[in-house]
Amino acid sequence: MTEKLRCDLGRWIAVLSLLSTIFISRALWFANSSFPMIPAFEKFGVVSDDVGNACVYMMLACAFVFGITANRWVLLPMLAAFAILVQADINRLQPTYYIFVLILCCHAFPKRRALLLILLFSGIYFWSGVHKFNSYFLEKWLLGMDKRIPFAPAFARVAFTYAVPAIEALAGLMLLHLRLRKIGAATLVLMHLLIIATLVREHGGVNVIPLNLVMILTLLLVIFASDTHVVASFDKKAAFLTLVVWLLPVLNLFGYYDHFPSFSIMSGKPEYATVYFPDEATSQTVPEAARPFVRHFEGRHYIQLSEWAGHAKKIMIYPQERVYASLKDSLTRHMSDAKKAKTELHLYKP
């Protein structure tokens, strides 16, 4: 199989996987009343529901055409539609779709796609691994190991748990080195296969399986077989991608860049939120779509925003305080000023 054929196949797989993921999570993309839409920037306007739905169809059509033609100019209206949709609802900027869009952008430059995909994947894995060096991830992973392979020696489960972040980060770095690239790619393919096996076994995460397959096939079809020398081939396109996936995520370490585009979901830093109501009567004044998610415990009535988002949109809620504040406003818009003042937004770490 020639390099061009491998890359073309990788592009088609990415496009079809993106389309299937959007279909699985269609409640996120098409306007509906199940969960409030939170603008990315409050000062900018948002389009109507009809225009938003048209943008979804444009994005799907352009992605499909790009799969056929690999014409980079087809990506421009797709990216414009994606930007409009994310502005209308920041929860659409899920890591899955963010990575899909970046992968397609890499495929838009046939002469540089191997280099760009190597830089993209190495940045994703490096930061994802670095962010896993925290007690939250280690404890959660070890609990999973204890549950799934209790027959393995305890010291082996602990050792592997502490090795996972280093393995992922180092494998990402290996992709940059020509002699180590195959080892790094093979290691990451194995990691994705374990993720998919876990998701299938636990009957969850259907919407992220297509991305895992794309990562596997891109590693095998493009990166594993590439003889691209990163330093010698570096150019302006590579410099821009390096800024996006390597340098901007540094700002997340200091609280100046959001978690999702920094690949820091498992960093233990993202906060989640619960809205507490002063009494039961007040909790029933929330919008109808939210009422099934009102819970009662120890005399308090509340809504866990992540539970609401997970059921209504099949997503991880965008974990930033400004998003939670907007959701609280949407829940309290029909309340009196006195009840609004007594309704509390509580941030916590899982």
Q: Which amino acid is at 281?
A: A
The percent of residues in the chain predicted with pLDDT above 70, rounded, is 100
> Does pTM surpass 0.85?
yes
Counting residues of the chain whose pLDDT is more than 90, the rounded percentage is 73
Burial class (CB in 10 A: 0-12, 13-18, 19+), 77: middle
Confidence class for position 7, pLDDT limits 50, 70, 90: confident
Tens digit of each residue's pLDDT (9 = 90 or more) over 323-348 = 999 999 999 998 988 899 999 999 99
Extents of the domains making up the chain: 3-262, 272-348
Distance CA 187, CA 171 (A): 7
| pLDDT of 54 above 90 | yes
Single out the residue of 61, 100, 98, 97 nearest to residue 77, CA to CA.
Answer: 61
d(CA 130, CA 227): 26
d(CA 43, CA 49): 18
Neighbours of 54 (CB within 10 A): 14
DSSP 12: H
* Whether the Cβ atoms of residue 309 and residue 317 lie closer than 8 Å to each other: yes
Query: What is the mean predicted confidence (pLDDT) over 119-136?
Result: 94
**Per the structure block, which two tokens stand in for 84?**
């409009």
Q: Is the pLDDT of residue 187 over 80?
A: yes
The pLDDT tens digits of the residues spanning 204-216 come to: 778 889 999 999 9
Q: How far apart are CA 280 and CA 271, in angstroms?
A: 26
* Mean pLDDT on 262-288: 92
